[in-house]
């Protein structure tokens, strides 16, 4: 974190002796998060604490996920690393109150310099086509060095997360499938659009408003902002008292 009069003496801010070259000087100390309390763990393991297919659980979880990302955007930050590994709950009684973490790739809106982004199957297509394969890992790893941070990139990632949460299935099987589907230009890729059209026909999505379709648009400019999706979700499910 950069030096700020708001956190310089905060009990959760640990200061380095001097600012780094980037201007950052503080670590923010958060509550410990257990791997088994992550959304990723819940989606890949049978959980005794909750039925992940139960309608109320899904409705409240979607609201919580959207609310967390909307708050980040309201502060003019882009997360740029959203995935089910980014969300944790504290205890079983608050399992639908998802806490957003993993801000190590976060950028200020419009920022286009700094560290490269490590991409995965939840990354936006416009980042995927601008990426290069890293030689530093045994597994296939895509890095994106040239980009400008935009809310629409997070919107796509949220769409992928919500699709997996609502259907129980990932939208893409791996990052190389996504890269091939994107082609040279995701906005004109018929392969990517056909893949999405087929995915949107999943019967589990019939029980919910078309939020994934509004977030997962191949054209970034046509993706509906997360805050608007949150507002629609709250209205449709009468969740104003839970905001």
Under DSSP, the state recorded for 9 is T
Q: Where are the alpha helices (DSSP H) in the chain?
A: 39-44, 55-74, 125-128, 151-167, 175-182, 190-199, 211-215, 226-236
| 145-179 pLDDT, tens digit each | 999 999 999 999 999 999 999 999 999 999 999 99
For the residues 55-80, what does the mean pLDDT come to?
95
Q: Residue 8's pLDDT is what?
A: 43
Q: Is the pLDDT of residue 202 over 60?
A: yes
pLDDT for residue 5 is more than 50: no
Q: What does the alpha-carbon distance between residue 168 and residue 86 come to, in Å, rounded to a whole number?
A: 17
Paired with 132 in beta bridges are 143
Angle subtended by helix axes 55-74 and 226-236, to nearest 10: 150
Instruction: Give the H or E element holding residue 36.
Output: none
Residue 212's pLDDT is what?
A: 97
Confidence check: pLDDT of 48 > 80: no
- How does the average pLDDT of the chain come out, rounded? 87
The helix/strand/coil state of 163 is helix
Whether 8 contacts 20, CB under 8 Å: no
Question: What sign results for the dihedral spanned by CA atoms 87, 91, 92, 95?
Answer: negative
Concatenated DSSP letters of 62-85: HHHHHHHHHHHHHTTEE----SGG
8 Å CB contact between 14 and 24: no
User: Can you tell me whether residue 208 is helix, strand or coil?
Assistant: coil
């Amino acid at each position: 974190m950069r030096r700020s009069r708001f956190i310089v003496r905060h009990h959760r801010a640990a200061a380095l002796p001097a600012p780094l070259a980037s201007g950052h000087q503080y670590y923010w100390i958060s509550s410990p998060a257990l791997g088994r309390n992550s959304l990723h763990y819940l989606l890949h393991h049978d959980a005794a604490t909750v039925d992940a297919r139960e309608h109320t659980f899904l409705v409240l979880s979607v609201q919580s996920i959207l609310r967390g990302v909307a708050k980040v955007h309201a502060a003019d930050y882009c997360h740029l690393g959203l995935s089910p590994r980014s969300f944790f709950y504290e205890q079983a009684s608050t399992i639908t109150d998802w806490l957003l973490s993993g801000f190590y790739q976060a950028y200020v809106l419009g920022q286009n310099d700094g560290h490269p982004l490590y991409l995965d199957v939840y990354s936006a297509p416009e980042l995927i086509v601008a990426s290069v394969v890293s030689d530093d890992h045994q597994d296939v790893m895509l890095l994106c060095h040239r980009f400008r941070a935009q809310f629409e990139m997070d919107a796509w990632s949220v769409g992928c997360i919500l699709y997996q949460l609502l259907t129980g299935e990932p939208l893409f099987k791996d990052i190389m499938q996504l890269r091939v589907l994107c082609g040279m230009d995701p906005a004109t890729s018929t392969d990517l659009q056909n893949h999405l059209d087929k995915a949107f026909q999943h019967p589990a999505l019939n029980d919910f408003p078309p939020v994934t379709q509004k977030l997962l648009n191949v054209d970034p400019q046509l993706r509906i902002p997360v805050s608007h999706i949150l507002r629609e979700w709250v209205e449709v499910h009468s969740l104003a008292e839970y905001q």
